[in-house]
Structure 1
């Protein structure tokens, strides 16, 4: 089907009426501001401000895009609806999967782009967009070095995250995504990138040929007060990049995709992580893919809100160095280094006769926990508990002490001989846990990441639902896109995706012919 700008209004009406069929988005009638993108009249609109590139969102993808575009000579604006920059990226664990890093080579780890692609395909159950997947994996080593050049500092060792065949994860010195976002914001500002917080995007501006030439915003917006702020229109000569993240906190919308993900399940996301920007893209014809593929984080704890302290503790200590057991038996019940979907599904099976959660317990000893930077905070807030002996640990959580001790002994034997006879877990980073003190935490998954979003090509152009051709002037990067991770994202691949696709969007957007725009 060939795109005809004369029928854009009727097509938009059709999309509004059929959005529920397209992506289950009956949430178009739900909360928030009116989400209608308006077609400009034939007369060329005038803008309050004009830039080469406008980036919506200030996380990994947005700030990587901004820095790359500025580096390539573009005049750039970044907007974010929240009062602080960074979004979910700032509270992310700051871990990036990299195939072929210097730290891998130093540690003697043999890796390749092909192996990383294979691991992500396996975790994604083969649903991945292979072209985009290859683009991301192929760009990780160069992008990790690029981040270093922009002030990011990695810990001096490589980590083994669940679902990866080999240790390939680098993590910021801060154990937080802020260790990436903050340096990128600093360098972006030094290169003249304009950044507006409390600025919510309310719609796209299109020219007579259907090209995106700007956005409508509410400036001075105080989330979530929808009636606050002042309307403005910003022009984009070369394009708009949507780096708006996922919709993990948008409970009505996520329930349309996955009815079981009710408000009973907490989320690791920041409060503003909703589907508003995704709906805006759908309203101008963007193709939504994999919206029902929503990931739960298997390292979360029910004893704290949001991302918390347990997530980092479990990721760096329990899963690679310890074990997770059912409190009723004191025994393991899954591979602690499986992909996130497998681990979350296993944990969610731990329920009593009334279908209420029976929270499993993950633990390791002092040797296993020595690199866990959130251990002190977890102990302070009683999320992580300390026990001097296994018998004391069993009493803390009501576990059978004899079975717990036998389980630890069995696991130590597996580590000693180098093979897990129970669940075939990789043991390269495991340790023999021979003595205490022990550190433990209760576990229960939380909504963490949206694998679905809008479909893009390898130029990061957003593709139209009706003909799979690019919507002129519209690009997307990071979690706002769909298809790269398939059914399940491997841990530490979000940073990889965000940085690589953000830079890719910038490189392609700045080459576009500049639209002729006028200031008001």
Structure 2
């Protein structure tokens, strides 16, 4: 019998396994697929941290309190204040723990969705999971079971004491079970139930994202949070299958127009809300329009800003004039010219007159005109990378039932949980919460 069972071999699961092993627990970790990684390894590799040495070296003033304020604002205060506070209080320590565990961060810092200052800390996401797994297994206290899925939880005397695998094997643990099994972006039944408005969106997630953990907790009476806020990320090329990541040119100064050549949103808001906006447009598609000056601010080391590689792959439309660009994307040149001229006049005034955009992203960055040729257009729709909702947990990562009480012996971390993001999303907070609450769940299990 193990001390602890962890379900899921993504960032949350391996963070929990490593933390528990470092605390002296014997851990059994199950991974549904043949190898670890899940949706974590497919992510953009962004982590939202505040007050780091990287920020200090680059003169960025940030703090847990500013991070807290941004997370609450971008979530429209629909998120659980206690979870957000816990994340902000723990994230800097977790950043150091990751570095101690062999995780390497890019020296580049970026400002993205929901952020007031540059706080996107970037890693290779697959390497992140591999490093955590390697460090966990090196402790000699972790028993890893790939190609092994959980089917249902075992509860005795009101306490979760183990689980049954899909092969019918019964596994038990002295301290409990941590669900780190991811979301349900690959489960059409659950998507139809909770996110019918995204039925025609593009979905990119780990093949194991079937909602297994959600269903197991649900069966025991677990409460759920944020189920109404399943959203897609704006910026996915609608026809390209070789690059699953969205492109965020809007946060560098581009504007978003629909097929009619009209802007339809304040481009500085969370790209989850931008996803809602583009799904309401004709053919559920728009274009990110920029000039050469904006294009030159891209960073090919950051997946959401790799303009150069996308150009080499032929994913951009280009034109020496706005008229040439408009004709290539079947937009009336006069309309697109008028749209850009109106936006540029708003830049001169410090705020656009149509949608009230004042910054590049959230509360950061000054608006810039679109005027330096050549001009670029990037077709963009919404892509659902994760479901960002699920089991209700408390700040100790205990799963909470519909009566507001902890389900003894059951913990959860990562995408299987809800309540942290609220109505929208900050870049880097999903991967960040997976690791932070993975550690917290393990620490809770390790307590006497």
TM-score (structure 1 length as normaliser): 0.77
Say if 2:297 is the partner of 1:368: yes
Call closer, same or farther: CA 1:385–1:452 in 2, change over 3 Å: same
Equivalent residue for 1:244? 181
Equivalent residue for 1:180? 128
Equivalent residue for 1:35? none
Equivalent residue for 2:330? 398
Report the Cα distance in structure 2 between the residues aligned to 1:67 and 1:437, rounded to whole angstroms.
50
Report the Cα distance in structure 2 between the residues aligned to 1:266 and 1:333, rounded to whole angstroms.
20
Call closer, same or farther: CA 1:322–1:107 in 2, change over 3 Å: farther
- Alpha-carbon contact 1:310-1:384 (below 8 Å) kept: no
Say if 2:113 is the partner of 1:162: yes
Equivalent residue for 1:425? 358
Q: Write out per-residue CA displacement over residues 28-54 of structure 1, whole angstroms, 9 at most, x where no aligned residue.
A: xxxxxxxxxxxxxxxxxxxxxx21111
Report the Cα distance in structure 1 between the residues aligned to 2:152 and 2:357, rounded to whole angstroms.
50
- Which stretch shifts more, 385-394 or 78-87? 385-394
Q: Write out per-residue CA displacement over residues 129-155 of structure 1, whole angstroms, 9 at most, x where no aligned residue.
A: 111110012222221222122222222
1:57 shift after superposition:
0.8
Report the Cα distance in structure 2 between the residues aligned to 1:144 and 1:253, rounded to whole angstroms.
34
2:159 to 208, 211, 217: 211
Report the Cα distance in structure 1 between the residues aligned to 2:151 and 2:130, rounded to whole angstroms.
26
Report the Cα distance in structure 2 between the residues aligned to 1:267 and 1:470, rounded to whole angstroms.
32
Say if 2:430 is the partner of 1:494: yes
Give matches, 1:343-422, under 5 Å.
343-351=274-282, 356-365=283-292, 366-371=295-300, 374-375=306-307, 378-379=310-311, 382-405=314-337, 407-408=339-340, 419-420=351-352, 422=354
Say if 2:414 is the partner of 1:485: no
Say if 2:168 is the partner of 1:231: yes
Say if 2:265 is the partner of 1:334: yes
1:136 to 84, 87, 104: 87
Call closer, same or farther: CA 1:311–1:408 in 2, change over 3 Å: farther
1:358 shift after superposition:
4.8
Call closer, same or farther: CA 1:424–1:321 in 2, change over 3 Å: closer
Call closer, same or farther: CA 1:155–1:402 in 2, change over 3 Å: farther
Q: Write out per-residue CA displacement over residues 462-507 of structure 1, whole angstroms, 9 at most, x where no aligned residue.
A: 1222x32222211111111111112222221101211110100011
Call closer, same or farther: CA 1:411–1:147 in 2, change over 3 Å: farther
2:32 to 81, 91, 95: 81
Q: Write out per-residue CA displacement over residues 164-208 of structure 1, whole angstroms, 9 at most, x where no aligned residue.
A: 222222112x4xx2242122122122222222211010112233x
Report the Cα distance in structure 1 between the residues aligned to 2:68 and 2:314, rounded to whole angstroms.
39
Call closer, same or farther: CA 1:362–1:240 in 2, change over 3 Å: farther
Call closer, same or farther: CA 1:412–1:144 in 2, change over 3 Å: farther
Call closer, same or farther: CA 1:321–1:426 in 2, change over 3 Å: same
Equivalent residue for 1:197? 146
- Alpha-carbon contact 1:161-1:337 (below 8 Å) kept: no
2:384 to 437, 447, 450: 447
1:309 to 229, 234, 243: 243
Q: How many pairs are equivalent?
A: 437
Computing the radius of gyration over CA atoms, which structure comes out larger, 1 or 2? 1
- Alpha-carbon contact 1:461-1:474 (below 8 Å) kept: yes
1:111 shift after superposition:
2.4
Q: Secondary structure at the match of 1:139?
A: helix
Say if 2:40 is the partner of 1:109: no
- Which stretch shifts more, 132-141 or 87-96? 132-141
Report the Cα distance in structure 2 between the residues aligned to 1:412 and 1:64, rounded to whole angstroms.
47
- Which stretch shifts more, 502-511 or 485-494? 485-494
Equivalent residue for 1:56? 7
Call closer, same or farther: CA 1:153–1:430 in 2, change over 3 Å: farther
Task: Please report the RMSD computed on the Cα atoms of aligned residues, expressed in angstroms.
Answer: 2.6
- Alpha-carbon contact 1:347-1:360 (below 8 Å) kept: no
TM-score (structure 2 length as normaliser): 0.88
Equivalent residue for 1:94? 45
Call closer, same or farther: CA 1:325–1:377 in 2, change over 3 Å: same
- Which stretch shifts more, 59-68 or 264-273? 264-273
Equivalent residue for 2:399? 462
Call closer, same or farther: CA 1:412–1:188 in 2, change over 3 Å: farther
Report the Cα distance in structure 2 between the residues aligned to 1:167 and 1:410, rounded to whole angstroms.
29
Call closer, same or farther: CA 1:272–1:377 in 2, change over 3 Å: farther
1:292 to 196, 206, 228: 228
Call closer, same or farther: CA 1:362–1:201 in 2, change over 3 Å: farther
Q: Which runs of 5+ in 1 are unaligned?
A: 1-49, 219-229, 513-520
Q: Which runs of 5+ in 2 are unaligned?
A: none
